[in-house]
Amino acid sequence: QVQLVESGGGSVQAGGSLRLSCAASGYTVRTGCMGWFRQAPGKERERVVFVNSYGAITYAESVKGRFTISMENSKNILFLQMNNLTPEDTAMFYCAAACDGFRYMGFRFWGQGTQVTVSS
């Protein structure tokens, strides 16, 4: 069965950095069709970045230039490097996998999330 486990969240001061990890089992990260999403209290879930089945990467305008998605194929882990964090980045971050137009926000599998809190 597919399992996605996020880690690396925490509290950081504005301007700081965090690196989130998504350890996947039952799914090959190298395949692509994976993404990072975030949801702040009272707001809708937002797509931060995703990689389609062809390897093309799309970032949300709000994180472009600050966040970088990458993967370590040997360990089947997806990463999200987040730099120059601002309080507006505060949210629960989720890892998603398997593109599917009929599923929630276009992905079939979801992790439980890791909290990112950025203070001023």
Q: What pLDDT shows up at residue 51?
A: 96
Q: What pLDDT shows up at residue 20?
A: 98
Q: Which residue from 31, 108, 38, 24 is spatially nearest to 66, judged by alpha carbons?
A: 38
Q: What pLDDT shows up at residue 26?
A: 97
Q: What pLDDT shows up at residue 77?
A: 98
Q: What pLDDT shows up at residue 67?
A: 98
Q: What pLDDT shows up at residue 97?
A: 98
Question: DSSP label at 65?
Answer: T
Cα separations in angstroms, 112 against 5, 25, 54, 94, 106:
7, 14, 26, 7, 17
Q: What pLDDT shows up at residue 99?
A: 96
Those residues of the chain that have pLDDT short of 70 are none
